[in-house]
Structure 1
Amino acid sequence: MRVIFAGTPEFARVALERLHAAGFVIPLVLTQPDRPAGRGMKLQPSPVKQFALEHGIAVAQPRSLRLDGKYPEDAAAARAALLEAGADVMVVAAYGLILPQWVLDLPRLGCLNIHASLLPRWRGAAPIHRAIEAGDAETGVTIMQMDAGLDTGDMLVDERIAIAPEDTTATLHDKVAALGGRLIVEALELAACGGLKPVKQPAEGVTYAHKIEKAEAAIDWSQPAEALARRIRAFDPFPGATAQVGGETVKFWKARALPGRGSVEPGTIVSVDAAGIGVACGDEGRLEVTELQRAGGRRLPASEFLRGFPLQAGQRFEA
């Protein structure tokens, strides 16, 4: 089976690696154009492009696939490359470009998407973040037959995975990426022998995982402590959860919800010791923060952070 692969970040690279190791012929990879990154803001290839180049796979990086869009020359060149590849199927994982109908219709078996949730829950751009933020007990991966809608296609293969109490987006991402790599290989093996059985997504239970915005990083101390603890885990590694104190921005990386905050305003520091910094929240609880970071500094346990940035009960964190 000849497989075109479309993806960009590390999540997608894991799947590409599994497909390559399983022996599928991959004549072409589509990925986002190189982006500036790092201190020098030099152009950096995506993880998917890096893997493709290391293994001699042709790469196309169109800015758009719309033949009538802003970059028709990119779309036309991509169309020519896709036709030349002569693939049976396209696998899509966190690619970042909308696929127009002509792309969906091109491969014999259509386009299969590796989606990091149990559809129809958490359609959209940030399913891992939003599952943690919402306090879901489990998530998973759905291999979906793509259509013109936003993650609305038929489900082909899926599998559940528990969300551990300590999971962050970083740790859950790695678990889900590994699961997605395994499931797409299974799905293509089934497709090769006509064994896929499409299932329509139920109309009930649809939720949308909207893209994470930097503006969401600011902590709203009027929220319950448990909700803030989940948000801190959901926003690790991006964009982090932030608050202002002493004229500086501080990022919170690890925290847990505890009972008892006293009769103080939300955001007020109620305890400071080596175990953590207790901050009053909007319910009857407090957030015990155990890992923090100053602007330009490193992530530090609370005990080390306090040596360089002393805090005391009664001070208040602002959003």
Structure 2
Amino acid sequence: MRVVFAGTPEFAASALASLLAAGFELPLVLTQPDRPAGRGMKLQASPVKQLALQHGIKVAQPISLRLDGKYPDEAAAARQALLDARPDVMVVAAYGLILPQWVLDLPRLGCLNIHGSLLPRWRGAAPIHRAIEAGDAETGITIMQMDAGLDTGAMLMTERLPIVATDTTASLHDKLAALGARLIVEALELAACGGFHPQPQPEAGVTYAHKIEKSESQIDWRQPAARIERRLRAFDPFPGGLAQLGDEALKVWRAEVCEGRGEPGEVLAADATGLLVACGEQALRLTELQRAGGKRLPAAAFLQARPVAVGERLKSAA
């Protein structure tokens, strides 16, 4: 079976590594163009590109795949590369480009997507973040036959995964990446023997996981402590939780829901266990914080560098 792979970040690289280990023939990899990154803002290849080059796989990095779009020459070159690859199937994982119909129709077995949720819940760009933010008890991986809609295709395989109380987007991402990497190999093995049984997604239970915006990092202390705590875990590692203490902006990374009453944002206690801050309902003990330009620190180390008095107020950052 000839497999073309399309993906960009670490989530996708896990799946590509699994396909390579399973021995599938990979004549071509599609990934996003190199982007500036780091302090020097030097162009950096995606994790998928780096892995593909290590294994001598041809890589294409079109800006667009729309033959009638703004970059027709790029799309035409990508089309020729796909035709030359003669794929039986395309596997897609967090690629970052919309696949036009000509791409969906090209492989004999179509295009299979590794999606990080239990569809139809959390279609869209940020399913891991939104599942944690919403307080879902579980999530999982869906292997989906792609169509022209936004994560609307028929489901081929699903596997559930509990969301534990300490999960952040970073930790849940790694679990789901490993799960997706295993399931896509199983899906392709089924495809090889004609074992697919696509199931349409149910019409009930559709939700959309909208892209995470940096502005969402602002902490609204009037909200219940439990909701703020979930958002902190959902926004770790990006964009974190942002608060204002005096004239200083702080990132809040970890917190625990506690009993406590006061004006929203009021510091009720400050000791080695953390900053106890009143919320709209209950309170939060902030246990990991970061000053502008500094490192993430446990509360005890943070308070040594920046003492905080009971009665001070944390506000939404300006």
Q: Normalising by structure 2, what TM-score?
A: 0.99
Residue matched to 1:98: 98
Question: Structure 1 residue 248: deviation in Å?
Answer: 1.2
Distance 2:10 2:131 in 1: 19
Question: Structure 1 residue 274: deviation in Å?
Answer: 0.4
Question: Structure 1 residue 256: deviation in Å?
Answer: 0.9
Question: Structure 1 residue 246: deviation in Å?
Answer: 1.9
Residue matched to 2:277: 279
Residue matched to 2:292: 295
Distance 1:70 1:97 in 2: 14
**1:19-54: per-residue Cα shift (whole Å, max 9, x none)?**
000000000000000000000000000000000001
Letter of the structure 1 residue corresponding to residue 277 of structure 2 = V
Two-structure CA RMSD over aligned residues (Å): 0.5
Distance 1:78 1:222 in 2: 50
Question: Unpaired segments of 5 or more residues in structure 2?
Answer: none
Matched residue SS, 1:32:
coil
Distance 1:66 1:188 in 2: 27
Matched residue SS, 2:265:
coil
Matched residue SS, 1:318:
strand
Letter of the structure 1 residue corresponding to residue 192 of structure 2 = A
Residue matched to 1:173: 173
Residue matched to 2:228: 228
Letter of the structure 2 residue corresponding to residue 259 of structure 1 = E
Matched residue SS, 2:144:
strand
Question: Structure 1 residue 265: deviation in Å?
Answer: 1.8
Question: Structure 1 residue 312: deviation in Å?
Answer: 1.1
Distance 2:68 2:40 in 1: 35
Letter of the structure 1 residue corresponding to residue 238 of structure 2 = F
Residue matched to 1:306: 303
Distance 1:267 1:70 in 2: 48
Question: Structure 1 residue 313: deviation in Å?
Answer: 1.1
Residue matched to 2:86: 86
User: How many pairs align?
Assistant: 316
Distance 1:309 1:297 in 2: 12
Structure 1 residue ranges (4+ consecutive) displaced by more than 6 angstroms after TM superposition: none
Residue matched to 1:154: 154
Residue matched to 1:69: 69
Distance 2:60 2:266 in 1: 52
**1:33-92: per-residue Cα shift (whole Å, max 9, x none)?**
000000000000000000000110000000000001111111000000000000100000
Distance 2:263 2:52 in 1: 54
Distance 1:132 1:307 in 2: 32
Residue matched to 1:38: 38
Question: Unpaired segments of 5 or more residues in structure 1?
Answer: none
